[in-house]
Every structure is written in C-alpha cells, then in structure tokens.
Structure 1
Amino acid sequence: MTTESDITPSAADRHHPMLKLALELGPLLIFFFANLRGPWLVERFPALSELGGPLFVATALFMAATVISLIVSKVVLRHLPIMPFVSGIVVVIFGSLSIYLQNETFIKMKPTIVNALFGVALLGGLAFGKSLLGYVFNAAFQLDVEGWRKLTIRWGIFFLFLAVLNEVVWRNFSDDFWVAFKVWGTMPITIIFTLAQMPLIMKHTVTPAGEIEN
C-alpha cells in the first residue's frame, strides 16, 4: 500500500507563520478570558446577560472570534485552512445550540467531535492508501511516502486521544477547569507532541526538484 500527499505549502503560509498562530490561538484565549471574566463583562455590557451564564457569554464571544479569524485568514492568507475551517463550523453549530438551549453539553462536546472527526478521517484515509495529513496541516512540510504514513498514524491516534481526554475532563471537572484545560492543557500537550515528531519529519523530508536544481 502506498500513500500520497501532493499538497504544497502556499507562499502566504510561509510568510505569515505568526499570523496563522494568532488566528488559531486567539479565539481560544478569548474564550478562556471571557469565561474567567464573565461577571465583569456582563456588568460592563448588560446586554450579554441575555446569553446566560459566563460559559454562554464566553461561547458567544468564541463564536464571533472564530468567524473573524476565518475571515481574516481568507482575506490575508488567501485561503481557509481545513482544520480551523471545520473546527469553526462545529463551533458555530454547537455554540449556537448551547446558547439557544442553554445547555453547556453541546459546546463541551465540540472538541470531542472535531478531534474524533480528524482522527477517523486520517486513519480511514490511510486505510485507502491516501494520507490526508497534508490537507489537515496545509502541507507545512513535504515528506516521502513512508514519512506521511507514519506521521498520519501518529496524528490520527493523537486526535483520538484528545477526543477521549476532552470527554474525561468535561465530564469529571468544573466548567472553569475545562475551559482552562482547553487553553493551558490541550495546547501544551499538542505542542509537545508536535515537537516530538520533528525527528521523524527531518528523517523523511524531501526537497522539491526545483529547489534541488537551484
């Protein structure tokens, strides 16, 4: 079985790495601080009280920040990265359900659904001989066939791990702990996991023919 991934990174991705990071991390930080300072926000902006408790206020601001992030990404980077785009759709749908039904379960299950979706898609695609990892990360690097296969397996399993981890956290801990964990727990875990893949990436990185000639 062979795996393919022929996506190449765009010039915008190479030139705006910090902007990409800000666009992906910004909405999460807004979600965290809005939940933390929910009562203060409601006091300053009474209209927010119509949304419900602090978590619902944070969810509404999270949704708005996510949409703005996607718009900026489209305008500045000239494309919508698949991972933030899919996550954004789920945020808007489940966030809206949470606020409308005043049920926190929907927004809490959003990370579970998104991570499970990516995990199943990656491992499922690999079963059909296609590595989808390049699409998920917009091909931040180029690897040989074996490299894509190994990295796809690792990320597929990692996404499923994050899905299970989110379920454990939101079902067993307080709202504040869950929100904080989304930012200060999940992000560091993901960064550590990503850095741990660097030896594999370096070992299997291939140089485009055009760059070799130059």
Structure 2
Amino acid sequence: LRSDPKYSNFTIVCEGEEYTEHRSSFFAKACDGGSEPALVKGMIDYLYTPDYEVELPPPETNPPQQPDGEKAQDNPEMPADIPEDVGTACGILSFHILMYSLADRMFINGLKAISKENVGKELAQRLDARTFPHAIYEIYSSTPANDRGLRDMAVIITIDNLVSPRTGAKKTNSTEAGIGEESGPAAFPHSLVSSVPQFSSDLAVAMMNRTVTDWNRHGICMPNWVD
C-alpha cells in the first residue's frame, strides 16, 4: 500500500519531495510544515511498515532541524568548547532524537517508542566528547519539559556511566596486562552543566533520589552522613 500510488488521495510535498498517501488525520497535522523531508519520509514509512530508516543529508547540507511545534522551555545552549564536526555517529543519533520529537508532535505513540529505543541504544554507545554533549543539547532543545521520555533516559544513562563521560576514559585494545584505558576529552565537561541547566538539575535530583533509595534499602552512605 505504501509504495502503490494507485488508490492514494493525498500527496505530501516537503521541500520538493512528493509522497502519495492515503487520507489520515496524521497527515493533516503533518501539513503544518516545518519538518525536514527525511523525517517526514521516516514518519510515513513507519505508518505503513511500521519502522523507519535513518537517512542522513549529504555532508555539504545541514542536518535535519527540530520540527516546529511546542518548543522546549529550558532554552539550553550548545557548549562553546564542543567541536562542531561531529560526523555520522552523531547524525544518526540526532535523527532518532528529532524523529522522537516529530512523533510527539504528531501524537504517534508507536513511533515515539521506537525512536526512543533507538536513541537509547545509540546514546549508550556514544559517550564521547564529540557526540554526548550534542545529544544532551538536542534532547533538551527538541522536547518540551513535560515530556520525560528522552530526558529521563539520558539522565539514567549518564548516571550509570558517569565515570567515562566525566573523565574521558575509554577502554583500549587488550594488552599484555589485559584491557587498558586511555584518557581523552571529557564527554561531560563543566560547560555542559551550565549550557543545559535543566539537564544538570534533572541529573542532580536523580542522583539524590538514587542515593536516598540505596540508603533506605541497604544503609549505604549512612556512616558518612550520620555521626
């Protein structure tokens, strides 16, 4: 049905790209504009398959932009000391993040779930200085404050892997002494704390809650907190 235009009664035009579709309230909302062609195509593919493929723009073009709609309320800024040339890995992660944002705007819960899962898989593997800060910035700039899906997931992944992003340590190939580590630029620098303050606040609250939970359950930290 997706690839057969014979019975289509609706055509989506997005920056010169045309998709023949079948009448739907989802497509009516998509006509508001503001979404990049690759994201629109991915959304349409999901509605028919249901899945989507990542399509990155050529290197000389700009990556997909945040869809219009409800804006994030936190006004995060990109840390000034983060490199702009982030490569394909960040592009893939960015595509999944923006697909989540578009799915939220279109009220397509299934697409939100799939894109969230994809973000989690990619982010957990990209705790490096070239990708992680961009991902945090994009999550907090493309989702409203009341949508906790990607934000809470980003916080949990950060807490579970805090040493690596803060120190820049990463595993190297096996040596005679076993698996080694080498240091690089920190993926979670001080600048990220001030540039995306809501992420820093969410992270602090989550860490306090986890510590209190461990304290109540197992008595962890009690010798340090109680005279």
Q: Which has the higher contact order (CA 8 A, sep 6+)?
A: 1
User: Comparing both structures, which one devotes a greater share of its residues to helix?
Assistant: 1
Q: TM-score, normalised by structure 2?
A: 0.27
